């Protein structure tokens, strides 16, 4: 019998997850503000020796193939750009959580992080290539964090994948979210939202985590971003980067069209870009981890 | 046993009975499988998009990525193993092409991939004898060259044959 996650249990799970670092938290706050500048990111990175070291290691990794070594944070941050810096910061303090095996979904270690990176790039590209009026950087960050709740409930879902799959094919559950809810009492968006609150993430990110499968339920001001993540998530799964048994088993909300103008041609181009950019980004991030 | 792992946009063929051809987690991508009884060789392409006109440079670098460039490329590679250049006698199987649930037309890339592949096969006078297309789940495919057996798997489901 599967153990259910009641509110007390959820609170316990969330409390067992290490807090994100103060600098990562600040970085997410700063970058969620529409009027921030790259200099704000530079100054933040400088306050954290660990983050500084990681940023310099990435920029000087083989993936970038620089002729001369970059030693200043200013140059490193402007060379890498905000999205790579955010990826480094999140990997630095939540890498273990996002990299873990999702046994409940029959997904190996690393699959969730790859899915998150693909969804992040796809959400950003959807914004850029559709010309939607919102920040591609924020869409990227929201994409990186959207499925964090899976890491919280996966152990409780252990052994349930065949049942969840059957519940959906027999129309007993509408999608994988509904199956999660039936099986363990809480779906991954609710669990993720609880963690987002504990981490005091900016509201935009918390909303993307909470409503990425039900974007119409988000408050109007957050909806464009939530729809961008919704599409980024679908594109990641379509491209073959899901997280195991739940892959493709979610509904597309076609009302994205109220916020994001995308046709078959743009979508094909987005998918192509995601393939290329994912290889580049994951190479630069992983490379830096191995050498010291 | 040699394992030939094909990523997105890759294609490959073998007549070595010790080999296995494998591709992981097809979402909206479609795997085109060619089995040639005459030469006992098998080939596969992992097709991501229906039409190469959106990016000719990518098509030149990775012909397996697009339906219209993947099939000629795979046929050419099979021809090197002694198969008929136009695909005569080759048995075709197709799988993948899934969609997310409640998808709209724009997001039906899986369906467009399958249609485009069928149209091109048709221009060679070829057609699939078996297919497992569509649905809302990802598929991993492996084929043993010696047995000519196409095995599919998906997390949470028992394996099945095509
Ligand atoms: Fe999700
Ligand atoms: Fe997701």
pLDDT at res. B19: 95
Reported confidence tier of residue A290, pLDDT bands at 50, 70, 90: very low
Asked if residue A73 belongs to a domain, the reply is no
pLDDT over threshold 80, residue A292: no
Reported confidence tier of residue A1, pLDDT bands at 50, 70, 90: low
Residue A178 contacts B where some CB pair is shorter than 8 Å:
no
Asked if residue A273 belongs to a domain, the reply is yes
Distance in Å, alpha carbon of B71 to nearest chain A alpha carbon: 19
ipTM tops the 0.85 cut = yes
Considering only residues 74 to 93 of chain B, which have any Cβ-Cβ distance to chain A shorter than 8 Å? Answer: none
Beta bridge partners of B150: B143
pLDDT at res. A289: 44
Asked if residue A53 belongs to a domain, the reply is no
Asked if residue A36 belongs to a domain, the reply is no
Longest dimension (CA), chain B: 44
Mean pLDDT within A16-32? 95
Residues 6 or more apart from B28 whose CB is under 8 A from it?
A238, A239, B48, B96, B97, B98, B99, B109, B110, B113
Q: Where do we find the tokens 């998530």?
A: A233
Contacts A250 to B, Cβ<8 Å: 100-101
Asked if residue A179 belongs to a domain, the reply is yes
User: Domains in chain B and their CATH numbers?
Assistant: 2-161 (3.30.1330.200)
Mean pLDDT within B23-46? 97
Asked if residue A232 belongs to a domain, the reply is yes
Asked if residue A41 belongs to a domain, the reply is no
Give the CATH number, domain containing residue A135. 1.10.3210
> Of A192, A147, A187, which Cα lies nearest the Cα of A167?
A187
pLDDT in tens, A14-23: 999 999 999 9
Q: What is the pTM of this model?
A: 0.95
Q: Where do we find the tokens 């008929």?
A: B84
Angle at B89 between CA B86 and CA B92, to 5 degrees: 85
Reported confidence tier of residue A3, pLDDT bands at 50, 70, 90: confident
Cα A32 to ligand 1 centre (Å): 21
Task: Answer yes or no: are the C-beta atoms of B33 and B94 closer than 8 Å.
Answer: yes
Residue range(s) defining the domain that contains residue A149:
7-19+95-287
Reported confidence tier of residue A287, pLDDT bands at 50, 70, 90: low
**In the predicted model, what is the mean pLDDT of chain A?**
94
Q: Into how many domains does chain A fold?
A: 1
pLDDT at res. B1: 66
> Of A177, A75, A76, A89, which Cα lies nearest the Cα of A140?
A89
**In the predicted model, what is the mean pLDDT of chain B?**
96
pLDDT at res. A285: 87
Among the partner-chain residues B104, B110, B135, the one whose CB lies closest to the CB of A252 is B104
Mean pLDDT within B27-40? 97
Cα A170 to ligand 2 centre (Å): 23
Asked if the Cβ–Cβ distance from B107 to A105 is below 8 Å, we say no
| Integer CA distances (angstroms), A95 to A119, A121, A146, in order | 16, 18, 14
pLDDT in tens, A127-179: 999 999 999 999 999 999 999 999 999 999 999 999 999 999 999 999 999 99
pLDDT at res. A113: 96
Task: Answer yes or no: are the C-beta atoms of A237 and A99 closer than 8 Å.
Answer: no
Among the partner-chain residues A107, A162, A237, the one whose CB lies closest to the CB of B100 is A237
pLDDT in tens, A42-86: 999 999 999 999 999 999 998 888 999 999 999 999 999 999 999
Asked if the Cβ–Cβ distance from B100 to A106 is below 8 Å, we say no
Among the partner-chain residues A107, A251, A267, the one whose CB lies closest to the CB of B109 is A267
> Of A233, A203, A232, which Cα lies nearest the Cα of A218?
A203
Asked if the Cβ–Cβ distance from A248 to B8 is below 8 Å, we say no
Q: Whole-angstrom Cα distance, residue A168 to residue A65?
A: 47
Q: Whole-angstrom Cα distance, residue B78 to residue B95?
A: 19
Asked if residue A75 belongs to a domain, the reply is no
Mean pLDDT within A172-191? 97
pLDDT over threshold 60, residue A181: yes
- Percent of chain A having pLDDT more than 90? 92
Distance in Å, alpha carbon of B44 to nearest chain A alpha carbon: 17
- Dihedral Cα A240, A244, A249, A253, nearest 10 deg: -60
pLDDT in tens, A74-108: 999 999 999 999 999 999 989 999 999 999 999 99
Residue A239 contacts B where some CB pair is shorter than 8 Å:
yes
């Amino acid at each position: 019998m599967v153990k259910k996650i009641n509110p007390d249990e959820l609170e316990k799970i969330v409390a067992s997850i290490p807090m994100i670092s103060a600098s990562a938290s600040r970085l997410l706050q700063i970058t969620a503000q529409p009027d921030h500048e790259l200099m704000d990111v530079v100054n933040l990175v400088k306050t954290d020796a660990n983050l500084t070291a990681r940023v310099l290691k990435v920029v000087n990794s083989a993936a970038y193939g620089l002729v001369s070594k970059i030693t200043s944070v200013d140059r490193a941050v402007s060379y890498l750009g905000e999205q790579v810096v955010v990826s480094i910061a999140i990997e630095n303090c939540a890498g273990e959580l996002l990299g873990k095996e999702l046994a409940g979904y029959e997904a190996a270690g690393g699959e969730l992080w790859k899915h998150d990176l693909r969804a992040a790039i796809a959400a950003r590209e959807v914004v850029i290539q559709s010309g939607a009026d919102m920040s591609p950087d924020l869409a990227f960050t929201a994409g990186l964090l959207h499925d964090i709740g899976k890491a919280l409930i996966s152990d409780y879902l252990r052994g349930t994948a065949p049942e969840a799959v059957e519940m959906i094919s027999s129309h007993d559950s509408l999608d994988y979210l509904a199956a999660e809810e039936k099986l363990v009492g809480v779906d991954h968006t609710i669990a993720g939202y609880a963690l987002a609150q504990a981490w005091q993430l900016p509201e935009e990110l918390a909303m993307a985590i909470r409503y990425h499968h039900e974007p119409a339920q988000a408050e109007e001001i957050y909806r464009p971003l939530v729809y961008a993540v919704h599409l980024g998530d679908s594109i990641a799964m379509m491209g073959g980067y899901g997280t195991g048994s739940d892959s493709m088993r979610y509904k597309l909300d076609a009302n994205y069209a109220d916020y994001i103008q995308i046709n078959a041609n743009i979508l094909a181009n987005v998918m192509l870009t995601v393939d290329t950019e994912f290889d580049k980004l994951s190479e630069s991030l992983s490379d830096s981890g191995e050498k010291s | 046993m040699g394992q030939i792992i094909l990523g997105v946009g890759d294609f490959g063929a073998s007549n070595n009975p010790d080999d296995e051809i494998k591709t992981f987690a097809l979402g909206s991508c479609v795997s085109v499988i060619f089995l040639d009884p005459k030469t006992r060789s098998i080939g596969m392409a992992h097709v991501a998009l229906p039409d190469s006109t959106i990016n000719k440079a990518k098509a030149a670098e990775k012909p397996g990525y697009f339906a219209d460039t993947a099939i000629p490329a795979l046929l050419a590679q099979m021809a090197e193993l002694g198969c008929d250049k136009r695909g005569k006698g080759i048995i075709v199987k197709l799988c993948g092409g899934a969609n997310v649930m409640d998808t709209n037309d724009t997001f039906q890339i899986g369906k467009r991939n399958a249609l485009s592949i069928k149209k091109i096969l048709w221009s060679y006078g070829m057609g699939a004898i078996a297919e497992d297309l569509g649905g809302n789940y990802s598929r991993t495919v492996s084929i043993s060259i010696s047995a000519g057996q196409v095995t599919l798997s998906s997390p949470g489901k028992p394996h099945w044959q095509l």
